[in-house]
Amino acid sequence: MPQNQEKFKTMIGGQALIEGIMMRGPEKDAIVVRSNGEIQVETQQRKIRPKNSPLAWPFIRGVVNFFDAQVTGVKALMRSADLSPEEQEEPSKFDRWLEEKLGDKKFQNFLVSSSVALGLGMSILLFFFLPNFIVGLAERWIPGNLLRNLIEGAVRICIFLVYMFLVSRMGEMKRVFAYHGAEHKTIRCYEAGLPLTVDNVRQQTRKHPRCGTSFLFVVLIISILVFSAASSALLAVFPGLETIPGKSLIMFAVKLLLLPVVVSVAYEINRIVGRFDNWFTRLLTAPGMWFQNFTTYEPDDEMIEVGIASLQAVLPEKEGDDRW
C-alpha cells in the first residue's frame, strides 16, 4: 500500500519531460533524462527574486510564477527532446532558415515564446471560448446569469476532463505520466524523511497536493466562482447588458481580463496546501488529488532512478532551505 508519512513539506517541485524529469529547487533547476540507458543530468542556477520585490507580493506572484513556469517548462521539454535519442531528428529546412536568420539564441527564444503563446491560446480557446460559445447557443433557455455561469463552468470542467482522459490514453503520453508519478513519489519519499532509494520511493503514493496539473484543475473551479461573481456585479451595474445582442462576447472579454485574478487566487491556494495539512487543506486538494488518477501512472524502477537523480540535483547546500 502507498505510504504518506510526511515529516516536513518542501518547496521543491517538478515536471515530467520526454524520458525524464525537470526538478526545481530553491537554488537550482535540473533536467534529468535517461538516454541510451544512462542518466544525464543538467543543472542551472535559478535567479533568486528578492522577497521585498513587488513581483513577490501576494496575488502578483501567482501570475509572474505561472508565466515563469510555462517558459521554464517549455525550455526543459525542448531540451529533453534534444537529449532523448528517440526524438533526435534532422532539422527541417524551415527550422534551419529560422536559425540562420535569427541566430541560435534568438531562434530558441522565438520557439519558446511561440510555444508558450500557442499553448496559452489553445487553452483559452478550448477551455474558455468553447464553453462560452456552447452555453451561448442555449442562453435563451437558461433563466438567470448565475445558472448560466454554473452551466458554463460545468461544461468547461467536462471538456478539460475529457481532454485529459483522451491524452492519458495515448501511448506516448503514458510514459510521460509515469515519469510524472515518479516525480511525485520521489518528493513524497523525501518529505517523509526516508533515504532516497528505489524501494522507499516505490512505496509512496503517486499523488501530491502541489501537482501542477491539479493546479490547472483548481483554476477551472476558481474560475466558476470568480466569473459568476464578476458577471453578476457587472449586470447589476449595467443592467442594459442583458439586452445587448453581443452580450456573450462582452462577457467572454471580461472573463479573459479576469484570468490573471483566477490564476493568482489558485496560486495562493496552492501555497496554503503546500504548507499545511489539515481537514481544510485536504478538502481544497481533494478534486486535484482525484484528478491525478488521470495524469499520473505508476513508474518503473528506471523512472524512479531518474526521479531520485533529479531531486538530489536540486537539494540546497544548507539543509532545510527548501522547507516551506
Number of domains in the chain: 1
Domain assignment present for residue 217? The answer is yes
Domain assignment present for residue 28? The answer is yes
Domain assignment present for residue 324? The answer is no
Domain assignment present for residue 323? The answer is no
- What pLDDT, in 10s, does the model give residues 208-226? 988 887 788 888 889 888 9
* Domain residue limits at 126: 13-314
Average pLDDT value for residue range 252-267: 90
Report which of 58, 31, 92 is spatially closest to residue 311, judged by C-alpha positions: 31
Predicted structure pTM score: 0.85
Instruction: Report how far residue 55's alpha carbon sits from residue 3's, in angstroms, rounded to the nearest whole number.
Output: 37
- Report CA-CA distances (Å) from 81 to 14, 68, 86, 89, 124: 17, 20, 8, 10, 26
pLDDT confidence tier of residue 87, bands split at 50, 70 and 90: very low
Mean pLDDT of the chain: 86
Domain assignment present for residue 321? The answer is no
Average pLDDT value for residue range 304-313: 97
Minimum mean pLDDT range among 57-71, 108-122, 285-299, 307-321: 108-122
| pLDDT for the residue 33 | 95
Q: Do 319 and 244 touch, CB atoms closer than 8 A?
A: no
pLDDT of residue 246 exceeding 80, the answer is: no
| pLDDT for the residue 180 | 96
pLDDT of residue 255 exceeding 70, the answer is: yes
Please give, one letter per residue, the 3-state secondary structure of 108-135.
HHHHHHHHHHHHHHHHHHHHHHHHHHHH
Domain assignment present for residue 5? The answer is no
| pLDDT for the residue 270 | 84
Domain assignment present for residue 3? The answer is no
The percent of residues above 90 in pLDDT, for the chain, comes to 34
Domain assignment present for residue 283? The answer is yes
pLDDT confidence tier of residue 93, bands split at 50, 70 and 90: low
Cell 471560448 locates to 129
Instruction: Report how far residue 101's alpha carbon sits from residue 106's, in angstroms, rounded to the nearest whole number.
Output: 9
In angstroms, what is the C-alpha Rg of the chain?
21
